[in-house]
Every structure is written in structure tokens, then in C-alpha cells.
Chain A
Amino acid sequence: MSKIHVTTTVNGDAAEFLTDPGTTLLDGLRDHLGLTGSKEGCGSGDCGACSIIVDGRLVCACLMLAAEAEGRRIETIEGMAQGSELHPLQQKFLEHAALQCGFCTPGLLVAAKALLDTNPDPTEEETRYWLAGNLCRCTGYDKVIRAVLDAAAVLRQERRAA
């Protein structure tokens, strides 16, 4: 079985790798590019731990093939902070203690960023429904939702100041 050559953009940088046709994008990111921040909790698109943004759209990396990354623009958790400066969502997750084990956290952060990218002022209900595809078994979501709403407020303020 011959491999497929994939050229793509990950977190702003050009990336290329060889992959089997059946390899998921999640395995491509983790095994071919060493980006293990995206997690596999189910492999069936039910838990959201592998949430990434592809061409501006939130997807589960386990439901895409690595070969489908060709020519796409991919954002993962590894690209969320700017150097050592955390994204406001990351900062607010820490301040609100919105993670316990931390395994669902990369996916939740990416999904929350996709929400705030398009809806800078979501209600609690909108946030809860948007994040309904990201399972967290530790927190009961309370502090997660508060962190996202707080980060949204910070981002709105930053935009106004800019």
C-alpha cells in the first residue's frame, strides 16, 4: 500500500508528511507531526478531545483522514498561545480552575476558541450548546462555562481597546 504525500499548514507553518490512506488526521497530527496535544477519547467523534479548527471550521480530527489535510489550514491547541503568552481562554481556564485531569482541556479550548471567533458575546446557553460535543467527566462544566464567558469578556475588551 503506497503512502500519500500531504502538504498542509499547521498553526501557520507549512507541514508535510507521508501517510497511509486510512490514517485519521488525529493520528497524522499525533504520530506524523508529533503534535500530541490533540487527544483521542473515543475515535468516533463523540467526545471532542481531538477538536481542531480546519479552514476556520471546528472539526473532530478523528473523523477526518490525514490525506484530507492537503492544502488546508489547520489550527491545533499547540498554536493557541503566542509564544509564552497564553490566549485569554487558556488564562481563564487556569484562573477559574476549569480543568482537573486536563485531558479534555485542549479540545474544550479549541472548541471554545471556534465559538468566540464567530460569536464574541455568547450567552451561557449558547456556550453550553456549542460545547455539548466536548465531554468533560471531571468538572461538571460549571467552571468551564464561567471561564469561557470570562474570556469572552476579556477578548471583547481587548477588541474595543485595539
Chain B
Amino acid sequence: MSDVLDRPDAKPGFTSVGTRPIRPDGFDKVTGKAAYGADLVMPGMLHGRIKRSPLAHARILGIDARKALALPGVKAVVTGADFPDFAAEILEGGEAASNTRDMAVNIIARDKVLYDGHCVAAVAAISPAIAEAALELIEVAYEPLPHVIDVEAAMAPDAPVLHDHLFTEGVEPRPTLPSNIAKRHEFVRGDVGAALAEAEVTVVGRYTTKAVHQGYIEPHACVASMSADGQGYVWSSSQGHFMVRTYCAKVLGLEISDLRVTPAEIGGGFGGKTVVYLEPLALALSRASGAPVKMVMSRDEVFRATGPTSGGVIEVKLGARPDGTIIAADVTLKFQAGAFPGSPVGAACMTAIACYDIPNFSVVGWDVVTNSPKVAAYRAPGAPIAAFGVESAMDELARKLGMDPIVLRAKNGARNGVKASYGPTFANIGFLETLDAIKQHPNYVIPLGPNQGRGVAAGFWFNVGGESTAAVHLGEDGTATVVTGNPDIGGSRASMAIMAAEVLGVSVDRVRPMIADTASIGYSMLTGGSRTTFATGMAVVQAAEKVVAELKTRAAKIWDVPVEEVEWAAGQAVCLAKPDVRPLTLRGLAGQSARTGGPISAEVSLNAQGAGPGFAVHLCDVEVDPETGHVTVLRYLAAQDVGRAIHPAYVEGQMQGGAAQGVGWALNEEYIFDAEGRMENAGFLDYRVPVASDLPMIDTVMIEVPNPRHPYGAKGVGEAPIVPPLAAVANAVRAAIGVRMPDLPLSPPKIRAAIDAKGA
């Protein structure tokens, strides 16, 4: 069980790390005071709306906005012609690299629309209703073109081509004709063909997944204001306000220093708010109208025009010895990128077999453009799709070998010193411990009834570090303000406060964590990649250490001793040279800082390296109703190597939330397109994310194998937990009905059909 408050005490050797204080921003969030993207009102504010393509693929012949501009109350209309053109450039601003020109054309179409929902124009008016009415008056002439959405259809030689300038990268010789295949990725070791031929036991499978959306409950929203002197201001909900600043400046041709971005509270992102959609449009409308402009997406727009993750095809061959030693893995991944290149197939290739030590492998990935919304990062981008195929195949292999699925995974599992399939050598990883935690858990041996099945699956995510800035300022009463540049997406303020309190030796409630705008703190990469507690936490710790060093200097000055004679312990300076002198508390030192040298504060900017990879193993029990094909999740257990849990309740929360999203991916969620390429289920009624009655309690086991590169041993925890559930659920359904279901989602009609086919 993951009972809260069951470990009220800090970890050995710590006073704050490992405790579960109430989050500092909690009061505002349970009382409705917290301000999210749509909650800001500026004086004289206009309302922006977007004219979207009703076609999946078409050439734009002309846009006539004269009637819209003539409507009373309409203040501005912008189209692609109002934005500068610039050469393609890859920017590492987000969770994944982004091609800024593609992003600009995704934000507002130029000569072609590439998917149903693609923005063709935006309007600002004095009320939302007038803006809405103006959209109807914007006339767009299209020449419809054939479209393609299915990934393998898009790879076919006769497929409609989305981009005339797209030639496949990563193949020799370079193609002479453009195609929808943007890139081929390859990771190879040993001789997989020979090893497969030599293996006594082999399994072969082909698996598919559909595009799914991150499903954050808060739609994209912003308010932007552009002054006549060229100074811009943006308030928006995103995973990184520095990312917003970078991309807006690029798309609009502005100087970075001319933009200031304030982070609103963010109502969920899961990777989907690592790019911009509305902000450059709102700035352009504000520039044209001279007034601030608020833009808020509808849920329909969120589904049709913002990042889902790829649908994919995963082909897997595994070859093993009779004792279960896997000697070969051959994996092919084909991913929908949406309208522009950049599916997460590269990360999928790197993670696909990262859990295992396999001497011969070939992992090949294909990045394919399709007439659907450009994919955005979604929690461990690509890894769940690859793991669905590989972990389903592992389950089949265990069955064929007659081996326990955990024993098979442990026998081949990655351990310290193993060279990972994607390059580096593993150190300080806890995969085997995580597998063992599942095997030892009571859930592993609970007897199952009829129509019930149990599935296990593993998952891997790199976790990342990167650029972060943090500042610590002491108040004259001895309290501390901790300032960072990372939006708090799931409780990170609490862990920042804990880490600062640990260094300063004060209680957590004496530390106030804040998130500052782009003008008030140094650059920080966005909140994503499971990097914030690790990298920004490292900056917080170093800034707090600088403050402690300064406090020691001040104490030394007061005592007139060398600073080496001062020690910092339990929130106070102790004089080693004069043991009978009373220690000076942080409060006391802060109170007299004016007389000892001035305010005490420190800011640290760094580029954190050495994020420890995360491994997760999930165990799922299901019951399948043979009458309806409905799957009930009976029990769910998530185990994960978390390095060290700074605030364990929010670590559990990440594990539970990731598991729930994965269960939705496995059972319910999918983008459904009609014959014309229009999304048919662009709403929460028909795109069904898990609700409270769909899920049981989600039990968690945190394994702590500390990461020595972080001051307190933290590893990223947010992403690994969405990697195993797709296969864990599918393996449980396989056990329950005796049929392998290779195509997600495992919806009731598919399961009924499989049961019927088995009986026939």
C-alpha cells in the first residue's frame, strides 16, 4: 500500500529530505486563488480566436479577411503573410529539439494546410462572441489534396507527399525524390541475423498503437501585450517560460530581451506544453491592434491542433537460449510524426531494449510525416510505444520458455557495468532491485479467479539534466526565498523548499519557493524530461550552499576568527576556535546582515550532467467480462528506482499518475479519423481518459538507489512510470483471455471479437 503519512520522519542523516510537508502553493490551489493561463484579465483586453482548416491536406489559394475586418468590434486579423519567413534551424529549447521553421508554419499555415485543425488565420475582437463571428467571415479558398494518416500508408511510394522539400535522412544513397519518410534511425550491435538463426527459442510479433493525447485538463491559454516601442509581454501556461520567450522571439523576428514572459500556474502538460501555439499569434494580434489579447483554446482545438503523441507500428523478434538467455533482438519502429518531422522514434529506439543486456541487436526507427497534428512530447516520449512491443514480446518469450516473467527479465536485466543499448555504461541503476520488489510483493501471488489475468512489464527512461538557475535570498528575519525559473507542474516547489531547508538547516516552512518570470531569474530549460528536481534542485542546493558560506563568513567576522574556524550545523554557525561562544543562528545572522556586509543572497546557474536513468516495473491484474469485452483493472502495483525521494508523496503521485495515463492508453484512448481525415472524437466524451471509477488504488514501491551526481541522490521520476503500463495491461489481458491482443487500445469490441474468434 502507498499509505500517505506512513513515513513522517526524514531519512537517516537528513532533517527535511524524505519528509512530506504540505506544498507551499497548496493553499491557493485548494481555494481557487491560483491563477492559471485563462485567469488573467488585462485592462482593454481583446479576445483572440483561430480560423482552422476543415481539410486534412490542401493548398491555400487565397485568404480574404475584408468582411471580418469590417465587422464592428473586430480589431485585427493576422495570416501567415504577417509572419517573417526564415531558414530552418534546430533549437534545443524543449524536451526534444525543434525545427523552428516547422514550428512557425505549424502555428499558422503558409501555402498549405497539413491537417484538420491547422491554423490559417487569427482574429482579435472586443468580445469572444464577435471574434467567433468574425471567423465565419474570413474566406479561405482551398485546393483540396489527397491526404494520408496511417503511418505505413504514408511510407508507401505512391502516398500523397506532404512536403516537397523532405528527403529521407539516414539512408544511403540520399533519395532523389521527396517522400513522407523524414528520417531513418539505427542502433546495431553484434550480428542479429546470425544470432536469431542460432537461437533455439524465438518469438515474433507485430504490435500497433494509436495516436493519443496528453490530455491535460487545462487548455492552452495566454494573454499577450505588445507595446508600440516593440516591448512584448506574455502571460501563459507552459512547461517553460524561457522556452516561450525563445520561440516567440524566433517566430516573430524579435530580440529575446524585448520579451518578458510570466509563467501562469500550469494545469497539466505531460510534454504537451513544451512548444508554443497561441503565444506568437496573440503577440501578433496585439501588435496589430495595440491592445492586449487573450487567447484560450477550446477542448476541440486542443485535440485537433496540439500535440498528441505518435501512433506506431512495432515489429519485434527475440531469440533466446533454452535457459532464457536472450541473444538477439530485432526491433523495427514506424512512428507518425504528424504534419512535420520529429516523432519521438529516436528516443523510442534508444529506450526499446535499454532494460536488457542483449549481445546482438538491431533497432531501426522510421520518422514519418502524416496529415495529422504535429506530435509533441508526451511523458517519456516514444518509450511507452516501443516498450509495448518489446515487453509484449518478452511476455510471449516467457510463455514459450515456461519461465516466470520476472525471472526472465532479471536474467537478462541491465545492471551496473553493462553497456546500454544506446551507448553509455550503466552505473548506480536499480533495475534488478525494482524487479525483485515486484516479485516479493504480496500482489504477485494473490490467487486469480476465472476471466482474470496478471501482467508484468518493465520500462526505462533516461532522465535528463540541463541548464537551470536558482537564487536563494535571506530575509532579515532569517526566512529564505528560493527563486527558480521552472514552472511547477506536479509539486516541484515543495521539493525545492525541502532541499534548500536541508542545506540551510531550517524547517521547510521557513523557506518560500517562487517561480520568477524571464526577466527576474537566469535562464532555465523547461520543466520536462524529469529534470527539474535533479537539475534545478542541484542549482537550489548550490545557491543555498553559497548562502551558508556567506553566513559562515559573517559569523567569522563577528567572532573575529578565520572562517575555517566556523562550522554550519543545524541552522547555526558554531565557533570551533571558541567552544564556549554561543552559536549564531541563521535568524540572528540575517538580522544583522546590514552591519556585516549587506544582504545575503546567491544565484547559481549551471548545466547539470549525470542524471540517473529510471527503471520502472509494473504489475497489473485485470478481469475481462466475456459478455461485453470490458476490462476491469482489479489491482495495480508500480515499483520504480527513484534515486532518493525528496518529497515521497509527490514521487508516489508521479508513479500513480503515469500508471493511470498508461492504463488509458492501453484500454480506451485513441485518435479516430473519418475518411476525410477529420478527427471524429475531439472531446472528452468520445476520447475517454480514465475516470475515478475506472481505476483501483495504485500501489507503489519506491526503490532508492541514490544517484551520486545529485547532492541528495535524486533521479528523475516523472516519466518512467508511463513506460510499462501499456504492456502490463496487455499482458494481463493475454493471461485472462488466452489470446494476444497486439493492437491498442484494447477496446471492448476488439476483445469480444478476439474471444469469439478463439471460440470459433
Contacts and interface: CB of A to CB of B under 8 A. Distances in A.
Interface of A: 20, 22, 30, 35-44, 46-47, 49, 76-78, 80-81, 86, 90, 93-97, 99-106, 109, 124-125, 127-129, 131-146
A37 B31 contact: yes
Contact of A77 (B2, B20, B31, B298): B31
B216 interface: yes
A120 B114 CA distance: 53
B657 A138 contact: yes
Contact of A137 (B26, B270, B299, B685): B270
18 contacts: A36-B32, A39-B217, A41-B218, A41-B299, A49-B217, A90-B30, A94-B26, A94-B27, A100-B489, A101-B217, A101-B268, A104-B267, A106-B32, A129-B693, A131-B692, A135-B691, A140-B658, A143-B649
Contacts of A141: 660, 690, 692, 695
B11 interface: no
Contacts of A144: 692
B266 A101 contact: yes
A134 B693 CA distance: 10
A103 B218 contact: yes
Contacts of B2: 142
B5 interface: yes
A94 B692 contact: no
A77 B32 contact: yes
A124 B697 CA distance: 10
B34 interface: yes
Contacts of A22: 129
B602 to A, nearest CB: 30
A10 to B, nearest CB: 12
A139 B739 CA distance: 31
B32 A86 contact: no
Interface string B17-51: 00010110111011111111011000000000000
A136 B489 contact: no
B27 A143 contact: no
B528 to A, nearest CB: 14
Contact of B4 (A95, A100, A125, A134): A95
Contacts of B215: 137
A102 B29 contact: yes
B656 A139 contact: yes
Nearest to B699: A142
B26 A99 contact: yes
Contact of A135 (B26, B647, B649, B689): B689
A124 B218 CA distance: 27
A106 B660 CA distance: 21
A106 B35 CA distance: 12
Main secondary structure of the interface of A (DSSP, over half): loop
B341 to A, nearest CB: 28
A37 B697 contact: no
Contacts of B299: 41-44, 46-47
B59 to A, nearest CB: 32
B486 interface: no
B659 interface: yes
A135 B684 CA distance: 9
Nearest to A110: B32
Given A39-B36, A39-B217, 9 more contacts: A86-B31, A94-B30, A95-B5, A97-B4, A101-B489, A128-B692, A132-B694, A138-B268, A141-B660
Contact of A100 (B219, B490, B690, B694): B490
Contacts of B466: none
B212 to A, nearest CB: 12
Interface centre among A129, A131, A137 (most CB of B within 10 A): A137
Contacts of A138: 268, 490, 653, 657
B656 A143 contact: yes
B692 A145 contact: yes
Interface of B: 2, 4-5, 20, 22-23, 25-27, 29-36, 38-39, 129, 214-219, 265-270, 296, 298-299, 489-491, 647, 649-650, 652-653, 656-661, 683-685, 689-695, 697-698
A106 B685 CA distance: 21
B619 to A, nearest CB: 15
Nearest to B656: A140
A143 B697 CA distance: 8
Contacts of B650: 97, 100
Contacts of A142: 2, 652, 656, 695, 697-698
Given A135-B217, A136-B217, A137-B217, A93 B489 contact: no
B645 to A, nearest CB: 12
A49 to B, nearest CB: 6
Contacts of B695: 128, 140-142
Nearest to B688: A46
6 A-B pairs with the lowest CB-CB distances in the bound complex, closest first: A37-B32, A103-B267, A140-B660, A102-B29, A46-B684, A97-B649
A128 B632 CA distance: 14
Nearest to A78: B32
A139 B658 CA distance: 8
Given A39-B36, A42-B683, A90-B31, A137 B653 contact: no
Contacts of B689: 135, 137
B73 to A, nearest CB: 12
A102 B4 contact: no
Interface centre among B35, B267, B298 (most CB of A within 10 A): B267
B690 to A, nearest CB: 8
B219 A40 contact: yes
A47 B698 contact: no
Contact of B31 (A78, A139, A145): A78
Contacts of A86: 27, 30-31
A97 B653 contact: yes
A76 B32 CA distance: 9
Given A42-B299, A44-B684, A143-B4, A101 B218 contact: yes
Nearest to A124: B697
B698 A44 contact: no
Contacts of A42: 299, 683-684
Contacts of B658: 140
Contacts of B698: 140, 142
Contacts of A76: 32
B697 A145 contact: yes
A96 B656 CA distance: 13
Nearest to B34: A102
A36 B39 contact: yes
A103 to B, nearest CB: 3
Nearest to B695: A141
Contacts of A134: 691-692
B683 A39 contact: no
A141 B2 CA distance: 13
A30 B380 CA distance: 35
Nearest to B299: A42
Nearest to A90: B30
A84 B422 CA distance: 53
Contacts of A109: 30
Contact of A101 (B22, B35, B490, B647): B490
A99 B4 CA distance: 13
